[in-house]
Amino acid sequence: MKHVMIYKRFERFWHWSQALLIVFMLITGFEIHGSYSLLGFGPAARLHSIAAWTLIALWVFAIFWHFTTGEWRQYLPTTDKLGAVIRYYLVGTFTGESHPFRKTTRAKHNPLQRLAYLAFKLLISPVIWISGLAYLFYSDVAELGYLDLRIIAFVHTAAAYAMLAFFIAHVYMATMGKTPMALVKPMITGYEEVEA
């Protein structure tokens, strides 16, 4: 076993600030949607927009980082051990089996994580960004004459529900290490014991 830096400083900064922004945007977003009244529509909408631009800036840096470091390869999907991992979460975790996936610096996500994060990055996020920008600039989009706000709002809200679903599942799965905090700690300190 080796004590290695598995999540680099930028990666951790990106992860946690993205997490905060997404939670904040879920809260303000569903207020804009009318689900509840918390900050008031005006402040919620204004803060939602500010958070959106912040997150866009963060993403620009994150995408740059992923490509320059080659870390984007961490999300390439694989079927290797995918069945075993799913079986572990459904059965093995209750019978005391050990996790079938061994983390390394070159493959730090298990096959199920890879799929989930890839879906997050290539499916949920683009949909939420594109529909969100169309929503933000609706007055200009409307001049084009073929996109109704009803449709834009529907797509954006649907993506928000997907984001909420991802968030709940992600937070729960993060507690499934050897101890409830075992997986969260490396995301904070960056270091984890991995096999050499």
Partner 1 sequence: MLLIGLAFAPTPALAAAAETLENASSTADHDKFDELAGPFDTGPAVTHACLSCHTEAANQVRQSTHWTWEFAHPQTGQMLGKRHVINSFCGTVASNEPRCTSCHVGYDWTDTRDDPPVAQTQVDCLVCHDTTGEYKKFPTAAGHPNYEPMEWPKGSGNVRKPPDLADIARKVGAPSRANCGACHFYGGGGDGVKHGDLDSSLVEPPLELDVHMSPDGLDFTCATCHNASGHQVPGSRYAVKARDTAGIDIPGRGDQSRASCESCHDTRPHTKDKLNDHTRKVACQTCHVPAFARGGVATKMWWDWSTAGRLDDEGNPIEILDEHGHISYTSQKGDFRYAENVVPEYRWFDGQVRYTLRSDRLNTESEPVRINRVEGSYEDPGSRIWPFKVMRGKQPYDTRNRTLLVSHVFGKDDTALWTNFDWNKALEAGTEFANQPYSGEFGFIETQMYWPITHMVAPAEQALRCDDCHARQGRLAGLGGFYMPGRDRSVLLDLVGWSLALLILAGAVLHAGLRIRARSAKGR
* Residues of the shown chain interacting with partner 1 in the complex, contacts defined by CB under 8 A: 32-35, 37, 40-42, 45-46, 49, 89, 93-96, 135, 138-139, 148-150, 153-154, 157-158, 160-161, 164-165, 168-169, 172, 175-176
Q: Which is nearer to partner 1, 80 or 148 (CB)?
A: 148
Q: How far is the CB of 69 from partner 1 (least distance, A)?
A: 32
Nearer to partner 1, 76 or 169 (CB): 169
Closest CA to 82 of 114, 104, 53, 47: 114
What is the DSSP track for 68-121? HH-GGGGG----TTHHHHHHIIIIIHHHTPPPS----SS--S-HHHHHHHHHII
> For residues 20 and 168, which CB has a smaller minimum distance to partner 1 in the complex?
168
Closest CA to 127 of 147, 105, 154, 103: 154
CB 78 to partner 1: min, Å: 24
- Other CB atoms within 10 Å distance of the CB of residue 28: 23
Across-strand partners of 193?
3
Using the minimum distance from each CB to partner 1, give the nearer residue, 79 or 95.
Answer: 95
CB of 123 to partner 1, least distance (A): 15
